[in-house]
Amino acid sequence: MDHSKILTQQKNYIASKESNSIQDRIELLKKLKSYIEAHEKEILDALYADFKKSHFEGYATELLVTYKEINLFIKKLKKWSKPKKVTPTLFNFPSSDYIYHQAWGQVLVIAPWNYPFQLAINPVLAAIACGNSVILKPSELTPHTAKILEQVVHAVFPKEIAYVIQGGVDTSTYLLEQKWDYIFFTGSVPVGKIVAKAAAEHLTPTTLELGGKNPCIVDETADIEIAAKRIVWGKLINAGQTCIAPDYILVQKKVKEKLVKLLIQEIEASYTKHVDQSPDYPRIVNEKNFERLAKMLSAEQLLYGGDINERDLYISPTLIDEPKLESASMKDEIFGPILPILSYTDFDEAEQIIHHYPHPLSLFIFSENTSRAKQWMKQFKFGGGIINDTIVHFVNDRLPFGGVGNSGVGQYHGKHSFETFTRKKPVLHRKTWIDLPFRYPPYENKLALLKRVKGWLT
């Protein structure tokens, strides 16, 4: 079907005042959940075909997160959608004041390849639950998952409510040239800037979920065994292709040697010494990303790993020793199973390294000194932070998820998704049974009285 016809149908539907009621939208969410449950194996098989991602990891990081979001919207949508009464100002007495939540209209969702199912379907279901129509552009780099996404969306939703348009850069360019009421993008910083520029042409509001170089600090008081276990898990899930994964470690010099030893032990305990044979270790998404990561290894001093197999798109878990800040592994976000380790002696030295880069999407610190850890959390700007773990803040829908500055614009998850895909619309209902003349001209002799009552009015 001609894409322009679909776009027009959705625009006409939004403008026609025929948008589904809240209960209709809840029924669509229930239908979506049932369809996903009935096709779990197909979805997990698609993720394996794109990444060699195990069914356990696929279920935990893609389906479970999606079920959680669907269930929350089904449970809370009616409550969230009710107009909220707010306290009126004395200046407008007598009146009743409300905040209504209104859908933006037609939404474009451009999804990434690293978690290609849940990072596509979750913003789509949230936008639809809020009363919007959606065009979803899945990533062409994960074609098997993109195909199943199209199957899911077209089976569950009428095309005037949601539709999938497949394609590469040309398709994205075409879609960004259109006028949207809202754009939701997840991906890299360079492409995020392109999206922001395109949105600015029409003054379209956006959410940009991007990334950055996420520091993981390990101080001398940390439980090093726990730190190693949780760092390895957070870094190597999805073979490191996770926007919130630790991008480099900053470890206090006194405990560096112990940490490195335990990181290696934990890698081998999780995936064996023959990581390429582990059924739980995914692969790099494509040749382009494989080559980018392989080049990083050629110029670095390795502490562990460095094995590659281009035919299998396999790169082993790799630890890099004290890279320079200008090196390939430290210049940009790694987005792979490569983990640079830098040491520091005091806070000032660590702070200088962290401030060398734009504000990250995540920051992690392992420390048993709670007051110090909290102070570090206050000191730096980042999207989301964790003390004594990695990446798990993502699963708490009560916490807003998003970046700051270079790592993103806007937040979502749970109620924060509802607030993203609706606009707060203020409404004031003024009563007519009294109409004080004070505000009307002429203003002669009224200024002195206004000054006397300003404390009541402000």
Q: Which two tokens stand for residue 401?
A: 């998820």
Superfamily of domain 3-210+408-423: Aldehyde Dehydrogenase; Chain A, domain 1 (3.40.605.10)
Q: Which two tokens stand for residue 141?
A: 């780099």
pLDDT of residue 147: 98
The catalytic residues are: 209
**Whether the Cβ atoms of residue 329 and residue 296 lie closer than 8 Å to each other:** yes
d(CA 20, CA 129): 9
d(CA 24, CA 8): 22
d(CA 27, CA 32): 9
pLDDT of residue 17: 62
- pLDDT tens, residue order, the chain (458 aa): 578 888 888 888 888 765 579 999 999 999 999 999 999 999 999 999 999 999 999 999 999 999 999 999 999 999 999 999 999 988 888 999 999 999 999 999 999 999 999 999 999 999 999 999 999 999 999 999 999 999 999 999 999 999 999 999 999 999 999 999 999 999 999 999 999 999 999 999 999 999 999 999 999 999 999 999 999 999 999 999 999 999 999 999 999 999 999 999 999 999 999 999 999 999 999 999 999 999 999 878 999 999 999 999 999 999 999 999 999 999 999 999 999 999 999 999 999 999 999 999 999 999 999 999 999 999 999 999 999 999 999 999 999 999 999 999 999 999 999 999 999 999 999 999 999 888 899 999 899 988 888 887 77
Backbone angles phi, psi at 141, to 5 degrees: -80, -15
Q: Provide the residue ranges of all domains of the chain, joining segments of one domain with +.
A: 3-210+408-423, 215-402
Pairing assessment for the beta strands 302-304 and 362-366 based on DSSP bridges: unpaired
pLDDT of residue 18: 57
- Please state the pTM of the whole predicted model: 0.95
The sheet with strand 422-430 has its strands ordered as: 84-86, 95-103, 422-430
Domain 215-402 grouped into CATH 3.30.390.50 = no
274's CB contacts (< 8 A; 6+ apart) are none
The sheet with strand 215-218 has its strands ordered as: 302-304, 318-321, 338-344, 248-252, 215-218, 362-366, 384-387
d(CA 78, CA 160): 23
d(CA 67, CA 185): 21
d(CA 382, CA 173): 30
pLDDT of residue 19: 59
